[in-house]
A and B are shown apart, each in its own frame.
Chain A
């Protein structure tokens, strides 16, 4: 009797772990579909990037701007990983601290990107100037929007974390947003290569 009771408990426990694991798998599948969204935008950019309509071309991209953006996003990807490490150690204070650093770096990234976009618009390079710029603003803007959503999501998780502490549920939520953040950095690698580096080449 006792044995079956303990078997039941461990089964139940196992089922619970699987639930959280299943949710992380579900998030992986979301990331894959998000890849498809970016694939269509990359395809549009690849096809349209020569259609500059005699205006702004890729050679005019702000070089220091996109280099700084790249490193800020890469560092924030690293700091979100450090946050997860402290989560596994059960250190709530350090976890919150590194999440704040990550969100702040993300905010700087978005700020720099908005600055880059407004500078371009002031130079007359708007989203309707040419097919090249339409595909550029859509692709890079969609990525920037993802980062912005991630910042608000992270702030929400920090509030929940400070109220409920590190539980199985908040652990899974932090793991998921960390995956999301790394994914955004991975997408940025291809934006840097395909849009900016091939643009200034």
Chain B
């Protein structure tokens, strides 16, 4: 394996680590100090979580590594579609269930 295939570098890890810490501390502080209304807080902490996930994909898991077609990205995108369908679909259907009751 030649070196240019790896996007791994100490710089990438440190940047990813610092960004992850920031994106962990922001929701912690916001929630524990009750700094926002619940309707605003929910999307804010969810966005922070998704951002941190994306950052770890790029800076820690090096999703851009390797040559040729990015089959890992394709699999991940398909997986995320399934994940969103399962989670959002379950919540939607079960909230309808509580309306019926």
Contact = CB atoms under 8 A, between A and B. Distances in A.
Decide if A and B are genuine partners: yes
Contact of B76 (A32, A67, A82): A32
Contacts of A201: 31, 38, 41
Given A35-B83, A46-B90, A168-B1, A77 B48 contact: no
Interface of B: 1, 3, 6, 8-10, 13, 16-17, 20-21, 24, 27-28, 31-32, 38, 41-42, 45-46, 48-49, 52-53, 56-57, 60-61, 66, 71-72, 75-76, 78-80, 82-83, 86-87, 89-91, 94
Interface in A1-48: 17, 20-21, 24-25, 28-29, 31-33, 35-36, 38-40, 42-44, 46-47
B91 A185 contact: no
Given A39-B82, A85-B8, A197 B27 contact: yes
A74 B21 contact: yes
Interface SS, A side: helix
Interface residues of A, number: 48
Interface string A86-103: 001000000000000000
A70 B53 CA distance: 14
Given A74-B24, A193-B49, A201-B31, A25 B71 contact: yes
Given A44-B90, A74-B20, A81 B76 contact: no
Contacts of B71: 25, 28
B46 A193 contact: yes
A88 B3 contact: yes
A36 B28 contact: no
Interface in A153-201: 168, 171, 179, 182-183, 185-186, 189-190, 192-194, 197-198, 200-201
Contacts of A67: 28
Contacts of A190: 49, 53
Interface string A102-118: 00000000000000000
Contacts of A44: 90
Chain B CB within 10 A, most for which of A28, A46, A71: A28
13 contacts: A24-B72, A25-B71, A28-B75, A29-B72, A32-B79, A43-B89, A63-B32, A71-B21, A88-B3, A186-B61, A189-B53, A193-B48, A198-B42
B66 to A, nearest CB: 6
Interface of A: 17, 20-21, 24-25, 28-29, 31-33, 35-36, 38-40, 42-44, 46-47, 63, 67, 70-71, 74, 77-78, 81-82, 84-85, 88, 168, 171, 179, 182-183, 185-186, 189-190, 192-194, 197-198, 200-201
B76 A43 contact: no
B49 A189 contact: yes
